[in-house]
Structure 1
Amino acid sequence: MFRIQNITVKYNAKEVIDNLNLEINEGRIFGVLGSNGAGKTTLFESIFQNTKYNGQILLQNQPISKRDISYLESENYFYPYLSVSDILSLFINENEDEKMKKLTNFFNIPTDAIVEKLSLGTKKKLAILCNILIDRPVYLFDEPFNGLDFDSVEKFYFIIDELKKRNKIVLISSHIMETLTHCCDYIGHLQNGKFIKIYLSEEYHLIRTHLTEDIQKDWVSYTNI
């Protein structure tokens, strides 16, 4: 069980995460849906212990640590003059060359290429591959779909499903609703540092309705000025 209890994060006296609570069981995929500035990255940075917070974040009733987590950040950095194979060698054992070959072929990543020469989408695929090679009980994917083409998005769904089968706890953030409804067991709508609603899979059809209603209210208010 992964549990967040009453965490609050403040920047310059502004509450970015506001008394947030969450529970996720093993083998579950939780989506964090929110617009830009909703607090998605701050939430993930708090879980990964990169950001100070008040409250508790627990795994199996113990304080979580970085060693429990594989974290794909929204912006990824690689040393530009290393080759793909050099980078991947940092994440696998010597006897796992065949595993690396299969995964790079699956994602169409050229192992002999220099990172500096890779496209934005291929760099994102490489980052995803590095993260799934790290065996951890908790996986954080912050905006993993950014930069991926439609083929790579579909392949990433297979990766997520495999992590679920391995009984991992996975949190995925996105500002695009459809990417989350396709692969998540439930989705939390994060707004102003709070989950204003957590949707079960059978309620996904309501997400767009609720978002549209909120936008309609804002639009009416705007046009009446």
Structure 2
Amino acid sequence: MYAIEVMGITKYYGELKALDEVSFKVREGVVFGLLGPNGAGKTTLLRILTTLLKPSAGTARVAGYDILKQPMEVRRRIGYLPEDTGIYPRMTPVEFLLYYARLYGMSYEDAVERIDHYLDMFNLVDKRDVIADKLSKGMRRKLAIIRALLFDPPVLIMDEPTTGLDVVSAREVRELIREKAARGKTVILSTHNMYEAEELCRELALIHKGRIVEVGEMREVLEKRGEKRLEDVFMQLGGGR
């Protein structure tokens, strides 16, 4: 079964073609890497999959629902971690997470239980009543990760999940991603951290200048590109430029 099916997605910004007939499928229960240089179209594609942005052409199905015809059903089944955390600065962590729990339709009791669990996991218990603009960048990133995980969605879409985290916290997030996939969750992971991608991703798509240039299992892509390390494949595409 496929958790995500991307079918000919094209996106224009004026005359600029940001995505050019992008197509691929993601199986259930895998960590799928979406990799490419800056400006390749990764974030644009993630925003389309989360229904925050409409494609100029094409469509996709997420958890069995069409992003154009059934956007609310899609939103009920995804946890999204954007590169920009989007934390409300005047809310405390508890207020912020309870607000999103209500949007997700969670009961107050379930929400409090999960919030307490994740605040403890991410060492934020002593910050639970501190307004967000007093938190460090890393703490705000953790809070955004908790928001994505809060209602235990079947699909996680994560844009640079470990950016701004210390080494220990980044490792914890990677372990959490593995755990989610082991439980049958599907994770789309966009990252510039090639070590992270090699460690986590079973399958991947390489995107360059808005087009998919490779898609498949990690081993197959490396063999096809004649490289042993994903970093070397990434450099073929222009690295971080």
Question: Shorter-normalised TM-score: what interval?
Answer: 0.7 to 0.9
Q: How many aligned positions are there?
A: 216
Q: Which 4+ stretches in 1 moved above 4 angstroms?
A: 212-216
1:185-222 C-alpha deviation (Å, 9 max, x unpaired): 11222111112112523355342333445669xxxxxx
1:93 alignment counterpart = 107
Flag the structure with larger Rg.
Answer: 1
1:10 alignment counterpart = 12
| Stretches of structure 1 lacking an aligned partner (at least 5 in a row) | 217-225
2:62 alignment counterpart = 59
Aligned pair 1:25/2:27, yes or no? yes
1:187 alignment counterpart = 204
Alignment partners' CA distance in 2, 1:82 and 1:39 = 32
Structure 1 residues 176 and 199 mapped into 2: Cα distance closer, same or farther (>3 Å)? farther
Q: Percent identity?
A: 29
TM-score (norm 1): 0.87
Within a 5 Å distance, the mapping from 1:73-222 to structure 2 comes to: 73-90=82-99, 91=101, 93-96=107-110, 97-109=112-124, 110-203=127-220, 205-213=228-236
Preserved contact between residue 31 and residue 187 of structure 2 (Cα < 8 Å): yes
Structure 1 residues 211 and 157 mapped into 2: Cα distance closer, same or farther (>3 Å)? closer
Preserved contact between residue 33 and residue 176 of structure 1 (Cα < 8 Å): no
1:51: Cα distance to partner?
1.9
Amino acid in structure 1 at the alignment position of 2:122: F
1:103: Cα distance to partner?
1.6
Amino acid in structure 2 at the alignment position of 1:30: F
| Stretches of structure 2 lacking an aligned partner (at least 5 in a row) | 223-227
Most deviating of 121-130 and 160-169? 160-169
Preserved contact between residue 208 and residue 237 of structure 2 (Cα < 8 Å): no
1:46-103 C-alpha deviation (Å, 9 max, x unpaired): 1112222111201365413223322111112222222111112222532233432232
Amino acid in structure 2 at the alignment position of 1:103: Y
RMSD over aligned Cα, in angstroms?
A: 2.1
Most deviating of 113-122 and 100-109? 100-109
2:225 alignment counterpart = none
TM-score (norm 2): 0.81
* SS of equivalent to 2:123: coil
